[in-house]
Amino acid sequence: QVQLVESGGGLVQPGGSLRLSCVVSGFTLDYYPMGWFRQAPGKEREEISCISSDMEGTTYYTDSVKGRFTISKDNTKNTVYLQMNSLKPDDTAVYYCASGLGYACFGYGSIGAPDYWGKGTPVTVST
């Protein structure tokens, strides 16, 4: 059974940092790309980052998080991370990890859509 479980969200002040984790079971990151998405209140869900399944671990970031967020993975722990620095109030959202065989990550973005989703972890950036 496939499960993706996010953790690490919470309340943080502007300029602060958080590290999100996504523990995967049911498939191995050796063969699946991983993506991080977020959905802010009243807005559509957006993809913010992804990492490919190959050894190079090609990464993609949407412009709004480039230079502040870093995606990484530990295949031995079947876990993907999202390090978020210099957080802004606009980063407030529920953050989801996702994956699937019909989804691929490249340096310029992703193609396809994930089949598997976590339940999300909320991030609030506020004073």
Question: Residue 37, Cβ neighbours under 10 Å: how many?
Answer: 21
Q: For residues 24 and 1, is the Cβ–Cβ distance under 8 A? A: no
Q: For residues 116 and 2, is the Cβ–Cβ distance under 8 A? A: yes
Tokens of 59: 């990464």
Predicted local distance difference test score (pLDDT) of residue 55? 83
Q: Using the predicted structure, report yes or no on whether residue 26 has a pLDDT greater than 90.
A: yes
Helix H, strand E, coil C: the string for 13-42 is: CCCCCEEEEEEEECCCCCCCCEEEEEECCC
Amino acid at 33: P
How far is 113 from 121, CA to CA, in rounded Å?
20
Residue range 25-29: mean pLDDT, rounded: 94
What rounded mean pLDDT belongs to the chain? Answer: 96
For 73-100, the pLDDT digits (tens) are 999 999 999 999 999 999 999 999 999 9
Q: For residues 118 and 50, is the Cβ–Cβ distance under 8 A? A: no
Q: In which residue are the tokens 């193609």 written? A: 111
Query: Which residues, 6+ apart, have CB-to-CB distance to 54 below 8 Å?
Result: none
